Structure 1
Amino acid sequence: MKKQYTLGRFLLVGGACLLAAVLLTMQFCYRYMYLLPKEKQERQYAELSQQLELVNADGKSYKNLAAKFQAVYELYTEKELTEADEEELERELLKAFVSLIGDRYAAYYTAEEYTSLLNSTSGQSKGYGITITKNATGGMVTTYVEKDSPAEKAGFRAGEEILRVNGQALSQVGYDKAAESIAQGEQCTFTVKREGVEHDILLQKEEITVSSVHFELREGQIGYIRILSFRNSGVQEFKRAVDALTEAGAKALILDVRSNGGGTLTAVHKMLDYLLPDTDAEGEERVVVSLTDKRNNVTQYTCSDEHEVDLPMAVLTNRGTASAAELFAAALRDCVGAKLVGKTTYGKGVAQESVLLKDGSAVKLTSSAFLPPSGKSFDGVGLVPDLETDDSGVNIYLVPYGQDPTYSAAEKLLEG
């Protein structure tokens, strides 16, 4: 009991101290420092303290924080009977710090986790071929099943609720833990209910290409484009979708970003650039997003004259529309008068930056706030739709589009 309390306290306090030094110096000095002879420890610590003082331009003192961590670590190595695994210790220290800094979007990734994240944004990954999201009750639902994927071969369908992952009930472990369990390992058992009967489905991971844009020409010559996420790999998919629909004679576009949690700024900027003209009504260069960092440096992203689409547009939104997806919807409304239809969005108007560290791991921190063309922030409040709809009890992933109240409302709005 005593050992567990001591090590747990060390992880909590040490985590906060260690990553502060790591983030400031961008090096892993502490990882090896305490294994050196005492003279070298003292010399390196003095050098590191000097570096911290030089980097510390905002008047805060991190010297005491680093010194306190060293003292705790030396007490641990001198007195604690338990020997912790150093690799696990480093990982948990860094994750502990990130969880305590007050940034709910911050994260620390091991080298393996960061590689997986990069693969997911590129569209190439090893997985099961299902896209999942959190529903209104905190449960897990599939939003899309990739063609020829392990999930499709096993009979998975979009809109199915997953009750258990590897035997653990979502109601007990929660969405985040269940999603982490899915990501780990080479296989996973999913439990779903079909026609009142529970089914266990064992899937093995395979190399797959993940699509993030789906489209079709619908009744009334309405071009429908659903964007699942704003991945860099999805930019060309989006351009192909727009080209195919306009060439097929689409008279209007409905862009569906419901339950789209965002993505990369690069992707959303390029997709907007493909739709919007390069100048505004006054003939000025069109700015689609402005980013402001901690030091009030402003970066603006503008449109080129490469391509534009002159069609009426509507954007479907819900509470799961967040971040880059909100920017996409806001920019289309601000620039070409696209109508937002559905529910008020999530309200995330800040961007994160991932910094790659020397061992391949990475730290993601909120580094800037962004504004749509109107200059009005939606952070914390969301975007209020022009036409609100009630889709309570409607599974937007399974319902035929003619029975989707939000789609139908947008269709009528465009026709009127």
Structure 2
Amino acid sequence: MKGRVRTVTTVGAAFAAGIILGPMVTSPMVKAWAQDGGRAETYRLLNLFGDVFERVRAEYVEPINDRDAVENAINGMLTGLDPHSSYLNQRSYRDMQVQTRGEFGGLGIEVTQENGYIKVISPIDETPAARAGVKAGDLITHLNGNSVQGLTLQEAVEQMRGERGTAIKITIRREGADRPIELSLTREVIRPQVVRFRIEGNDVAYVRLTSFNEQTDVGLRRAIQTMRGQAGNSLKGIVLDLRNNPGGLLDQAVQVSDDFLEQGEIVSTRARRQEDAQRWNAKGGDIAGGLPVVVLINGGSASASEIVAGALQDHRRAIVLGTKSFGKGSVQTVMPIPGQGAIRLTTARYYTPSGRSIQGTGIEPDIEVLAQRQEATATIPREREADLRRALRNEGGVQQPTGASIPPLQLPAGLAEKVTRLPPEGTPAFDATKPETDFQLQQAMQLLRNLAAVQSPGRRASAR
């Protein structure tokens, strides 16, 4: 697609957009196809589409919106290909750009909808909303004096977003307050926190990546630098938490993998045409300074998350711990259509350094550790890529979970056996605010500490 359109590649029919629909009028592209004897059937099918469209316009029980009908038809064509191709109208395309950029003008609150009102899930630290005293659980009832009743969540969010420096008045209802609270806020540039980090027990650096947008790699580097500065030589290792990370930008997955690798392939993609195949290699420089790394994954780790886990696993730079990942091994390219939004089209499959396609299979952890005892006896397993309708086939790569080019995981004798794979009876229920209840995290940290205890002085600390 290079050189033809400006694209964004994510690890997430164009011709119809140029048609003036109707039985008697066709676009230049369709006329060209009509002159090509090999495309005669395509031309007839396009005329069929135009005929059906005109009949719907004329005979449907209520008047239809032409744009909605055409966009629905385009989206139907794309979603009929696979679960990840789709049409993005102008608003959806704008929203996608905001998400991938990782910053927008707004107030700094995470919201949902409840009983017609906008409910605050959480204010983001150091934002206008947090400084004004907005609290979790507050109900936003009015924006600039107008009720939010009747607005969709998306419409309300769009009203709260805006140019940096512009003002908005919000009215909130708070439990226990005698009267509504009115606040005047000035919008600022908001950067959602996609990288969260902390030092656990004074000796383990914990980093959680919630998605892969334009801020992910910068945030990761800053987090590692901060924690190494705080803990100094006391750090025994790093936990990179990719659980429930749905993915995002391919280039960010490549950069995050490169952060921990000195050399070698990170990922490759193979498209319909052989000449469109691409390969990314590490440039060198390990931000972890050789500290051992454990990557946490689960059934919600998809796409870009799987690229990172697969690359670090294949190079034996990290121990992958948790449960099997989602299994989305396809690449989507977002192709803008001038003035009309964009299409998100599956254009390639990706392959890990050892040649594995994880499409539909997922990344198998080196050490399986369940988050809860119930997972061992669950009768309805978590939905994965292979369960989706029209999911792409797994083809063109090494089929075994561990390819021939992956060196076997070698840990000092007895270390793997010290990892508890199943939470014991009576283990406290998971609470996101209490790390001690996160069983998989606790096992990862203990593994790093055990590994550090048997490392010889001066030896490169890794999972090799």
Q: Do they fold alike, i.e. is TM over 0.5? A: yes
* Equivalent residues of 2:19, 2:27 under 8 A apart: no
The answer to whether structure 1 residue 355 and structure 2 residue 335 are counterparts is yes
Distance 2:208 2:335 in 1: 31
Hey, what does 1:402 align to over in structure 2? 436
Corresponding residue of 2:355:
375
Change (3 A) 1:75 1:130: same
Q: State yes or no: 1:28 paired with 2:8.
A: no
TM-superposed deviation, 1:84: 1.9
The Cα of 1:373 is off from its aligned counterpart by 1.2
CA–CA separation in structure 2 for the residues paired with 1:412 and 1:229 = 26
Where do 5+ consecutive residues of structure 1 fail to align? 1-21, 35-40, 134-141, 158-165, 169-177, 194-200, 279-285
Counterpart of 2:164 in structure 1 is none
Q: Aligned to 1:211, what secondary structure does the other structure show?
A: coil
Q: Is the 8 A contact 1:349 1:369 kept in 2?
A: yes
Unpaired runs of 5+ residues, structure 2, are 1-12, 113-119, 138-147, 162-169, 176-180, 373-427, 451-464
Q: Is the 8 A contact 2:260 2:285 kept in 1?
A: no
Aligned residue for 1:97? Answer: 77
Q: Separation in 2 of the partners of 1:294 and 1:232?
A: 27
Within the candidate set 99, 103, 110, 1:124 is matched to 103
Which stretch shows the higher mean deviation, 119-128 or 179-188? 179-188
Rounded Cα–Cα distance in structure 1 between residues aligned with 2:322 and 2:218: 27
How far did residue 338 of structure 1 move?
Answer: 1.0
Give yes or no for contact 2:209–2:242 (8 Å, CA) kept in 1.
yes
CA distance in 2, matches of 1:295, 1:56: 24
Compared CA separation, residues 74 and 87, structure 1 to 2 (3 A) = closer
Give the structure 2 partner of residue 289 of structure 1. Answer: 267
Letter in 1 for 2:29: L
1:130-169 alignment to 2 at 5 Å? Answer: 146-149=124-127, 153-156=133-136
Compared CA separation, residues 76 and 320, structure 1 to 2 (3 A): closer
- 2:252 aligned to 267, 280, 294, which one? 267
How big is the shift at 1:246?
A: 2.8
Give 1:207-356 correspondences, 5 Å limit.
208-248=190-230, 249=232, 250-278=235-263, 286-296=264-274, 297-309=276-288, 310-356=290-336
| 1:415 maps to 2:449 | yes
Check whether the contact 2:217–2:252 (CA below 8 A) recurs between aligned residues. Answer: yes
Aligned residue number for residue 49 of structure 1: 30
* CA contact 2:33–2:40 (8 Å) conserved in 1: no
Following superposition, the deviation at residue 156 of structure 1 comes to: 2.9
Deviations 1:323-361 (A, max 9, x none): 100111111111134111222111111111111001140
Q: CA–CA distance in 2 between the matches of 1:182 and 1:371?
A: 41
Whichever residue aligns with residue 23 of structure 1, its letter is: A
* Residues in 2 aligned to 1:202 and 1:121: alpha-carbon distance in whole angstroms: 32
Q: Give the 3 Å change call, closer, same or farther, for CA 202–337 of structure 1 in structure 2.
A: farther
TM-score calculated relative to the size of structure 1: 0.71
Instruction: Write the deviation string for residues 31-67 of structure 1: whole angstroms up to 9, x where unpaired.
Output: xx54xxxxxx84x52743243468999x794212211
| Structure holding more helix per residue | 1
Structure 1 residue 144 displacement after superposition: 7.7
Q: Is the 8 A contact 1:277 1:308 kept in 2?
A: no
Q: Normalization by structure 2: what TM-score?
A: 0.64
Query: Between the two proteins, what is the percent identity of the paired residues?
Result: 23
More relative contact order in 1 or in 2 (CA 8 Å, sep 6+)?
2
Q: What one-letter code is carried by the residue in structure 1 that aligns with 2:66?
A: E
d(CA) in 1 for partners of 2:31, 2:433: 60
Alpha-carbon distance in 1 for matches of 2:94, 2:301: 26
| Structure 1 position 229, deviation (Å) | 0.6
Contact 1:343–1:389 (CA under 8 A) maintained in structure 2? yes
Aligned pair in 2 of structure 1 residues 254, 80: CA closer, same or farther (>3 Å)? closer
Q: Deviations over 1:288-325 (max 9, x none)?
A: 00101122442001111355531100011111111100
Distance 2:260 2:27 in 1: 56
Deviation at 1:94, TM superposition (A): 2.6
2:84–2:332 CA contact under 8 A, matched in 1 = yes
How many residue pairs were aligned? 345
8 Å contact kept, 1:314–1:338: yes
Residues 46 and 300 (structure 1 numbering): CA distance in 2 closer, same or farther, change over 3 Å?
Answer: closer
Amino acid in the other structure paired with 2:205: G
